[in-house]
Amino acid sequence: MSRTTFRNGTVLTAAGPVTADVEVAAGTIVAIGKAGSGGDEVREIDCGGLWVGPGFVDIHTHLREPGHEYKEDTESASRVAAAGGYTSVVAMPNTDPVIDSGHLVRYTIERGREVGLVEVASAGCVTAGRAGEKLAHLDDLWAAGVRLFTDDGDVVADAGLLRRAMDYLAQLGGVLAQHAIDPGLARGGHMHEGPVASGLGMYAIPSAAETVVVARDIELVRLTGCNYHVQHISAAPTVELVAAAKREGLPVTAEVTPHHLAFTDGDVQATDPAFKMMPPLRSAADRAALVAGLQSGVIDAVATDHAPHADHEKDVPFEHAPNGVIGLEWAAAVVNDRVGLDPVRFFEAMSVKPAAIARIANQGHWLATGAPANITAFDPKGVTDVRQSRSKSRNAPYFGRRYAGAVKYTMYAGAMTHEESGVLV
């Protein structure tokens, strides 16, 4: 039987980081400690200086399949994810058709299995057709494996409808994940409301568009007891709301994207559509609050909102470009470079917490004997030089930039899915 040993890395266990060897066989971690010399059947990987922890989990990926395979598909997205250190992704349901019933969930998961590079889980819509008018088949979705429910791309705006969804999901035990942007305050807007938008004369979206939705929704969490997750948090006052909800003991979590940690509305000045996404890049003060929130744990998780768009869709004036950027490949390096987390908090934000939020059973476990061999080895002192992408699309603000940190190895279910990233030539 073939075995793999990650030798001499900083291993992230439930008891904290330890310098040790991690032995893997048959898809499972069989030992953590001082491994003997393995012989011919063992692949030895020198992990000196590397962090060896649970494979990353992205709870916000747009696979674009079915319906938009010219932007991305399950195979290309899985390749990108593996290169970024991910062993699992949660597919967003705003595909065509939208994922609002069980058979589409089963299709999405099955496509992930066929490709076999990462564990693909599927989110499901909150409302039928993602139309915001009546509930989707929540029981059916749940039975097919959905745990995270979202109309991502659109907010569930109707408070009465949202309350019914939360009553329902509270009973099932699911999580309501909200794309928190008030449609009235955001109407017509393309970027963050502030001095940059004023100078550009661009219709803009105030931070309050996010904060008012989360404030309202937290009141509904008090009412319903439903698990509630803020997607792609972007504004400092929203971070305050999440912190207060957590102090109160409410089941509220939040994710932040790498691009909101890396850039601000100042980067939009040149009107390059590579910097256009929803919610928009906000002020330097907002960015600082996001960084602090991720460090302290008020913001639980990093989630990429990997949102591929074809060149011809982004090669237009800013206001005409679709929202979204890709980022699965470089998220870990961007977070390491721009936030600088210790290894425990790093793997918590990249793996443990997101897996817990989306309830993915085989993912996000601190490394332990008997745990599934979903492992990422990350070099915090490495360099990721962003020049090209394995994605079908290249809509990202990262090109031409270098970030400290590199994903060296990704192992999914005992099989190596990626080796030696860093310099992409």
Partner 1 sequence: MRHLLTTQDLDRDQLTMLLDTADGMVSLLERDIAKAPTLRGKTVATMFFEPSTRTKLSFDKAAKALSADVMSFTASSSSLTKGESLKDTVLTVQALGVDLMVVRHGATGAPLRVAEWVDVPVVNAGDGAHQHPTQALLDSLTLRQHFGTLDGVKIGIVGDIRHSRVARSNVFAFSTLGADVTLIAPPTLLPVADSEWPVRTTSELDDALTGLDAVYLLRVQSERGGASVFPSLGEYRARFGLTAERFKRLKPDAVVLHPGPMIRGVEIDAVVADDPRALVLQQVTNGVAARMAVLYHLLGGEADV
Radius of gyration, alpha carbons of the chain: 21
212 close to 238: Cβ distance less than 8 angstroms: no
Please choose, out of 12-20, 134-142, 190-198, 228-236, the segment that lies near partner 1 by the rule CB under 8 A.
Answer: 190-198
Q: H/E element holding 301?
A: strand 301-302
Q: Are strands 204-205 and 3-13 parallel, antiparallel or unpaired?
A: unpaired
Q: Which lies closer to partner 1 via its Cβ, residue 158 or residue 319?
A: 319
Min dist CB 283 to partner 1, Å, is 10
Q: What's the rounded Cα separation, in Å, for the pair 408 and 194?
A: 40
Catalytic residue among 182, 305, 337, 379: 305
Q: What's the rounded Cα separation, in Å, for the pair 40 and 391?
A: 36
Please choose, out of 145-153, 193-201, 399-407, 409-417, the segment that lies near partner 1 by the rule CB under 8 A.
Answer: 193-201
Q: Which lies closer to partner 1 via its Cβ, residue 315 or residue 342?
A: 315
Please choose, out of 120-128, 191-199, 235-243, 408-416, the segment that lies near partner 1 by the rule CB under 8 A.
Answer: 191-199
Q: What's the rounded Cα separation, in Å, for the pair 386 and 400?
A: 6
Show the site string, 270-309: x = touches partner 1 by CB under 8 A, - = not: xx--------------------------------------
Query: Among this protein's residues, is 58 annotated catalytic?
Result: no
304 close to 318: Cβ distance less than 8 angstroms: no
Q: Which lies closer to partner 1 via its Cβ, residue 159 or residue 285?
A: 285
Q: Which lies closer to partner 1 via its Cβ, residue 188 or residue 249?
A: 188
Site for partner 1 in 310-329 (CB under 8 A): 312, 315-320
Query: Binding to partner 1 by residue 195, rule CB under 8 A?
Result: yes
Site for partner 1 in 257-276 (CB under 8 A): 270-271
Q: What's the rounded Cα separation, in Å, for the pair 59 and 138?
A: 19
- Which of 10, 86, 9 lies closest to 390, judged by CA? 86
Q: What's the rounded Cα separation, in Å, for the pair 281 and 65?
A: 26
Q: What's the rounded Cα separation, in Å, for the pair 304 and 262?
A: 12
Which conformational region is residue 129 in: left (phi greater than 0), alpha (psi within -120 to 50 degrees), or beta? left
Please select the residue that binds partner 1; options are 198, 296, 369, 388, rule is CB under 8 A: 198
Q: What's the rounded Cα separation, in Å, for the pair 398 and 183?
A: 29
Residue found by looking up tokens 């395979």 in the block:
69
Please select the residue that binds partner 1; options are 194, 324, 327, 414, rule is CB under 8 A: 194
Site for partner 1 in 346-405 (CB under 8 A): none
Q: What's the rounded Cα separation, in Å, for the pair 188 and 175?
A: 30
Q: Which lies closer to partner 1 via its Cβ, residue 7 or residue 282?
A: 282
Q: Which lies closer to partner 1 via its Cβ, residue 71 or residue 229?
A: 71
Please choose, out of 46-54, 202-210, 295-303, 407-415, the segment that lies near partner 1 by the rule CB under 8 A.
Answer: 202-210
Residue found by looking up tokens 């994710």 in the block:
255
Please work out the total of residues on this chain that contact partner 1, with binding judged by CB under 8 A. Answer: 21
Please select the residue that binds partner 1; options are 199, 249, 370, 400, rule is CB under 8 A: 199
45 close to 5: Cβ distance less than 8 angstroms: yes
Catalytic positions: 305
Footprint of partner 1 (CB under 8 A): 188, 193-195, 197-202, 204, 206, 270-271, 312, 315-320
